[in-house]
Amino acid sequence: MDFSHLNKYKSLILRVFLGLTMLFWGYEKLTLEKLAKSYTMDYEKFMFFDVNVFLNVAGWLQIAIALMLILGLFTRLNAFLVALMGIITIIIPGFIILKDVPHFAYAFALAGAALALTIEGSGIWSLDTFRSRNN
């Protein structure tokens, strides 16, 4: 079977699913109180300010990035930022794999998909493409 006619949807699918993942993770940081405890335990050595401030800033940043990814606005930049978040989650507290294997695996999947989107770009169904056509 030939699915090449669906290639135009690759970026859209990556953008929407990465965006929804980031939207969920941002919302989770803003609403789940138990995250403050787990972030304090897992990242305490790396925190330079209060964990609640970090969770608020990170949560809102992830929601903003999520919305821009879904809309296809500054796609490559936002995808790169998502990849960077995933890589930082993997490298800095790498010992987390001993306690939370799914969290670690999700970071690998997230970083890989975000790097693919960084290379692929926003695709035809995006505000980036709309903006470039109108300039």
Q: Does the pLDDT value for residue 63 go beyond 70? A: yes
Rounded distance between C-alpha atoms, residue 132 and residue 119, angstroms: 18
Asked if 93 and 46 touch (Cβ cutoff 8 Å), the reply is yes
What's the average model confidence in pLDDT over 44-70? 88
Q: Give the pLDDT confidence score for residue 135 in this predicted structure.
A: 73
% of the chain residues with pLDDT over 70:
85
Rounded distance between C-alpha atoms, residue 127 and residue 97, angstroms: 38
Rounded distance between C-alpha atoms, residue 68 and residue 73, angstroms: 5
Rounded distance between C-alpha atoms, residue 132 and residue 86, angstroms: 29
Q: Any residues with CB less than 8 A from the CB of 73 and at least 6 apart, and which?
A: 126, 127, 128
Rounded distance between C-alpha atoms, residue 44 and residue 95, angstroms: 13
Asked if 90 and 43 touch (Cβ cutoff 8 Å), the reply is no
Tens digit of each residue's pLDDT (9 = 90 or more) over 69-119:
999 999 999 999 999 998 888 877 665 555 656 667 888 899 999 999 999
% of the chain residues with pLDDT over 90:
54
Q: What is the pTM of this model?
A: 0.86
Tokens 């699918």 locate to: 13
